[in-house]
A and B are shown apart, each in its own frame.
Chain A
Amino acid sequence: MSVALLLAFLVGAALLMLFAQAGEAQIGTLLGSAYVWHILRFTLTQALLSTVMSAAFGVLVARAFARETNFPGRRALLGLMSLPIVLPSLVAVFGIIAVYGQNGWLARALGAAGLEARPDIYGLGGVVLAHVFFNLPLAVRLLLPGWHSIPVETWRLSAQLGMSSWSIFRLIEWPMLRRYLPHAAATIFMLCVGSFAIVLALGGGPGAATFEVAVFEAIRFEFDPPKAATLALGGLALNLACLALAQGAVGDAVIGSGWRTREQDWGQRPMAARVLDGVLIGAAAVLLIGPVTATLVDGFTGLVNASLNWSLVGRATLISIGLAVPAALLTLLLALPMVLAEGGARSSKPAHAAILRAALILPIAVSPMALGLGCFLILRLSLDGMPRAIVGIVLLNAIMIVPFAAAILRPAVERARARHDHLCRALGITGWSRWRLIDWPILRPSIGTALALAAAMALGDLIGIGLFGDAKLRNLTLLLYDQLGAYRMGGAAVTAALLMLLIFVLYQVVERLVGGRAAP
């Protein structure tokens, strides 16, 4: 609980610090501004569309993955699923454009086939495409544990009863989805509301702008932090409304308490169903692998053509890792106690649990720009120079990643509680021995995944490192921007590919080392 308060306090204080600055923000003027309403409309439209597409497609793909438990490349594909969400947006945008752009692979293939048609991704369509690229894999990662939470006994029973596929969906999967889907969708919605560079790059014109653009403008060109904070509060209100909606939609399905939930053997399923699963997984794979491959190919081309200063790349790599690992550990240190407390309070003190849950999601409900600047202002009070930059970057990243780590940890904690709470109470196993003997073995894979995700996300940090601006602390993402800013496209392509590979490798290594062999 105290960690939750600390987190909520930090986020709140960050916004308060902005309000404390001189400025002329007046909520009345902002509410009366056609511009604000226009931005609100576009933010909502693109976020809703992106969320519906990501979530709907995500349910289908997660279901396919849950059923097809044994095909070559499944594990690798699931590993890839964690990649988009942690990629710096610029890398993803260039990857997407390399495939779907005016001069991309698709356009050139159409041209080679003698067709006139060309893809046009600039506009709402491109924004949604990019957001689905980012968030479909996230949806799959968040929903798959739902299927894993359905006990083997349930499946066995459904088989014995000869339930139709529709009945299985209606009676087993839908109640499970009502537990998992609302929060997954709310998370995606909030990420799309906070999206910024992608929306501008692919939006095709000034009409395509989110709240975050207005926050940025207020900070950069209008020098009006209170206005930025007011706009950030507007975005926060939107996100909280969405969260409330999600909370209302959550069903009260009982968590399965069966033992073996993995390696479910689906036996003979109709060929048509398996083909459909194959098509869904294939489509998701194509969506995912296209931009990733394009980034690697561009990186390789750049490697051949550009001369690189490898000591610079090496140094940036070390700095990236050196900042990401502490940030990941701090993320876990913040998220795990809160998720455990939330799990403990769920049945006895539902209000407590709800507060914890809200605190855990708060960092992505608030404008990243406003949060970052607020944190900078707080840290200024006591630190300066390199220590401030290091503490600030680690802290800011940890705060912003907590919601993702919590989303990964929560299902495992719920499962552990559902299975062992009664037994532990009956046997009087508490405290450290309970953690060591009961919880750790069950939670370990999820802790590994959460830590891996946190490290990978922090590796691609730009907000923190850009904000504190210590010229000696330059990570790979900043190096990428430096190269672009100096016309070095070839070198930038190499850095982008390297960064992506590093993110992928770090994720896999941390997940396997910490999570053990059972990691998903």
Chain B
Amino acid sequence: MTLRRCALLAAVIATSTAASAPLRADVPTLTIYTYNSFVSEWGPGPALQKEFEGTCGCRIDWVALEDGAALLSRLKLEGEETDADIVLGIDTNLTAETKATGLVLPHDVDLSAVKLPIAWNDADFVPYDYGYFAFVYDSEKLPDPPQSLAELARAGDTPKLIYMDPRTSTPGLGLLLWVREVLGNEAAGAWKNIAKKTLTVTKGWSEGYGLFLKGEAPLVLSYTTSPAYHQMVENTDRYKAVNFAEGNYLQVEVAARLNTSDQPELAQKFLAFLISRPAQEKIPTTNWMYPAIDLGDALPEAFRKLPVPAKSLLMPQDKVAANRSAWIDEWLNSAGQ
């Protein structure tokens, strides 16, 4: 009886999931590899899909992995046999490696509308949003947060902070590069001091930010745009980001089409759509990042009011690729003892 019931249930679910996928009719399918939060209920994915499918006479098939690093790793594993037409969600620290796979097809998209803190004329990658890494603090518990990386790296036990592991997460890697870019060879000493203030180092942003919101520590590695979420959705100014005196490290998220795709034109159309105004208007309140084009007054007020970092930092790609491992060792040796 039980087994029969279970089997029945399984069958019902299997058919319902199968039925919910549109039939493989003759409409072309665009397979896009991206990260989970892009296609979740709260991410930009669902709205973009609706908009694009309304005009393209095609169907989008998302494959969602954990984060940008997982995307690249999957792409490398699959190589030329990949199903992906587009990969969306690689960040600036991984573009060089992505290009090195030899799978990227130049996008052929007019980027004249793109407006980023840095000049962008890359023929391979289309930027769709950007943000600055920043420490976000709980103003009720920490009225006077450190104002610079140097101050953060000063000796002392407080304030307690949470950041992500550069071995397992992109924000963690961002912080590693940020420290290195600002402090250079003093990075090792800085990590020793930061270690004394560190409550814990988490696997990913979600765990770290979750612990922060649970009140475990008053300071957490996140983005300058995080407070916009709290203002717009939760109506609170409690959580704020600090712009460090030395500048904040920039993260640009990009998409690319692949040369293994059998529909490069459709992929090109999607990439052009991605930086069109209708698509870009959806980015701020779903991905909680800055849009890649100037939206003018269409940019939500909470975003317009966010203080913009004095300086945006970004390391050259080849330098990152060449030193990542050595800098992680440096971090381990300084912060890990």
Contact = CB atoms under 8 A, between A and B. Distances in A.
B201 interface: yes
A492 to B, nearest CB: 7
B17 A319 contact: yes
Contact of B206 (A35, A472, A485): A485
A98 B210 CA distance: 12
Query: Interface size for chain A: under 10, 10 to 19, 20 to 34, or 35 or more residues?
Result: 35 or more
B78 A482 contact: no
Nearest to B31: A385
Contact of A514 (B2, B69, B200): B2
Contact of B78 (A197, A213, A380, A488): A380
Contacts of B211: 97, 101, 201
Nearest to A122: B200
A225 B10 contact: no
A102 B69 contact: no
Interface stretch (B119-127, B250-258, B276-284, B328-336): B328-336
Interface in A454-513: 466, 469-474, 478, 481-489, 492, 510, 513
Nearest to A373: B77
A469 B2 contact: no
Given A103-B216, A205-B336, A206-B336, A486 B167 contact: no
A448 B230 CA distance: 47
A29 B127 CA distance: 38
Contact of A101 (B43, B201, B207, B216): B216
Interface in B6-55: 6, 9-10, 12-14, 16-18, 20-21, 33, 36-37, 39-43, 45
A322 B336 contact: no
Contacts of A373: 77
Contacts of A321: 9, 13
Q: Of residues A93, A219, A221, which shows the largest number of chain B Cβ atoms within 10 Å of its Cβ?
A: A221
Contacts of A35: 329, 332
B184 interface: no
Secondary structure type dominating chain B contacts = helix
A209 B61 CA distance: 36
Contacts of A325: 6, 9-10
A318 B2 contact: no
A217 interface: yes
B275 interface: no
A472 B73 contact: no
Nearest to A298: B214
Given A322-B13, A472-B21, A217 B207 contact: no
Interface string B59-74: 0011111100110111
B203 interface: yes
Contact of B209 (A326, A482, A484): A484
A122 B167 contact: no
Interface string A290-301: 000000000000
A485 to B, nearest CB: 4
A220 interface: yes
A386 B42 contact: no
Given A35-B332, A205-B201, A221-B173, A472 B17 contact: yes
A200 B199 contact: no
Interface in B261-301: 288
B77 A377 contact: yes
B209 A487 contact: yes
B80 interface: no
A482 B216 contact: no
Contacts of A437: none
Given A122-B199, A482-B42, A206 B210 contact: no
B205 A103 contact: no
Nearest to B199: A122
B76 interface: yes
A201 B12 CA distance: 38
B204 to A, nearest CB: 8
Given A101-B214, A203-B201, A220-B70, A390 B2 contact: no
Interface string A196-221: 11001111111101000110110111
B203 A329 contact: no
Among B69, B207, B337, chain A packs the most CB atoms within 10 A around the CB of B207
A385 B2 CA distance: 31
B90 to A, nearest CB: 13
Interface string A169-199: 0000000000000000000000000001100
B260 interface: no
Interface in B180-222: 195, 198-203, 205-207, 209-211, 213-217
Contact of B210 (A204, A225, A478, A492): A492
* Minimum-distance CB pairs A-B, first 8: A322-B13, A103-B215, A471-B62, A486-B42, A482-B40, A485-B37, A484-B206, A207-B336
Given A200-B202, A325-B10, 4 more contacts: A319-B13, A322-B10, A322-B14, A469-B65
9 contacts: A94-B214, A97-B216, A103-B215, A205-B200, A205-B335, A217-B168, A309-B41, A385-B83, A482-B40
Interface of B: 1-3, 6, 9-10, 12-14, 16-18, 20-21, 33, 36-37, 39-43, 45, 61-66, 69-70, 72-74, 76-78, 81, 83, 97, 160, 165, 167-168, 173, 195, 198-203, 205-207, 209-211, 213-217, 226, 229-230, 233, 288, 324-325, 329, 331-332, 335-337
